[in-house]
Copies of this chain bind each other. A is one copy, B any other.
Amino acid sequence: MLVVMKQGATPEQIDRVCAWIKERGYTPQPMPGAQRTAVGLVGNDGRVDGSPLEDFPGVAEVIYVSNPYKQVSREWKHESTIVEIAPGVRFGGTDVPIIAGPCSVESEEQIVTVAQQVKAAGAVALRGGAFKPRSSPYSFQGLGKKGLELLALAKRETGLPIVTEAMDEAGAELVAEFADCIQIGARNMQNYSLLKVAGKLKKPVLLKRGMAATIQDLLLSAEYILAEGNPNVILCERGLRSFDTTSRNLFDLTAIPVVQQLSHLPIVADPSHGTGRRDKVLAMSRAAIAAGADGILIEVHPRPEKAMSDGAQSQTPEQFAETVVQLRRVAAAIDRAIAS
């Protein structure tokens, strides 16, 4: 339930609504907006009758939300949200930014080289994992803080903002010191403790869809972040678990127009994980742009055959450069442009 206050409602009026909610055993959540304040009633599964509030001074209307998510929905905020992770690098507008870089940060030489290469080719943000969620405890787990420092170095060399993953509370705080955008991986999409921390850190968050998550699950996980006061969430489609082994995952591009209809948040696509095969990334990143993606995330490695993780799906710098050229043409065909 959302209690929408009138424009110019006083703090006292808002407090009175909050008090009413508290008396019924729920937590009020005031959400100040540019035009108006709304007060969410947290924990209501439809059992609270909010009609008495309609007569309270300062109350404009009481909205019973049919979807379980609220603040992420287009009913709640009609205009698309634009998330700016660094000056000029904006997701959700007409221009489509490309984030590129290796799966893992491996060395200074590797990350600086690839950062320069992807920048030259047209990427406007650098990805690279310092903390890696790996299925096996015996696989390479990332360089940790050293990896974050190397990302910072690559940023100084190229100016590219950094997108990198956090796996836990402590890690998220550390990542927030170095990164321009905190990635939450598919395996942690329903790690609600991590989502709450990401909500409190206020940095932009790139939230990847889980391997068997419905669109509603994804939006509810984003809601956790917004509910903590952080509206800067970029959603990401990266493929679902499938029975077919010709691709690593089942890339669900229909999620893009579906999310854009249900939510005001931007959604980007990751064809590297979506397909898991380097030679499918070009076709499927073109398809993602044509489907309306608000950004593209591509794994690029200077020497994919030597990558410590995900080599099979990483493009070479040359392949990536050709991909950007083609994406520019497809974006233009739908009256958008690759951000530069």
Contact = CB atoms under 8 A, between A and B. Distances in A.
A141 to B, nearest CB: 8
Contacts of A326: 333-334
Contacts of A136: 68-69, 220, 223
Tell me how many chains of this kind the complex includes. 4
A39 to B, nearest CB: 13
Interface stretch (A115-123, A156-164, A247-255, A314-322): A247-255
Contact of A243 (B41, B140, B243, B254): B243
Contact of A224 (B42, B137, B241): B137
Interface of A: 40-45, 68-70, 133-141, 167-171, 187-188, 190-194, 210-212, 214-217, 220-221, 223-224, 227, 240-247, 250-254, 256-258, 261-262, 274-275, 279-280, 283-284, 286-292, 326, 329-330, 332-334
A254 B326 CA distance: 18
Given A187-B191, A251-B253, A253-B287, 20 more contacts: A41-B138, A43-B140, A43-B141, A68-B135, A69-B136, A70-B138, A134-B192, A135-B216, A135-B221, A169-B169, A210-B212, A212-B240, A216-B246, A242-B243, A257-B280, A287-B288, A287-B291, A330-B333, A332-B333, A333-B333
Nearest to A224: B137
A18 to B, nearest CB: 15
A25 to B, nearest CB: 10
A284 B258 contact: no
A290 B286 contact: yes
Q: In the complex, which of the residues A227, A241, A326 has the most CB atoms of chain B within 10 Å of its own CB atom?
A: A241
Nearest to A248: B254
Contacts of A41: 138
Nearest to A132: B192
A45 B210 CA distance: 26
A246 B283 contact: no
Nearest to A26: B138
Given A254-B247, A274-B254, A279-B261, A168 B139 contact: no
Contact of A253 (B220, B241, B253, B289): B253
A117 B187 CA distance: 37
B170 A169 contact: yes
B137 A223 contact: yes
Contacts of A212: 210-212, 240-241, 243
Nearest to A259: B246
Contacts of A191: 167-168, 187-188, 191, 194
25 contacts: A40-B138, A69-B136, A70-B138, A133-B190, A136-B223, A137-B220, A137-B227, A138-B227, A168-B191, A188-B191, A210-B212, A214-B245, A214-B246, A242-B243, A243-B243, A247-B254, A250-B254, A257-B283, A261-B279, A284-B291, A287-B288, A290-B290, A326-B333, A329-B333, A330-B334
Contact of A168 (B169, B216, B246, B247): B169
A204 to B, nearest CB: 19
A329 B68 CA distance: 39
Given A138-B43, A140-B43, A334-B326, A254 B190 contact: no
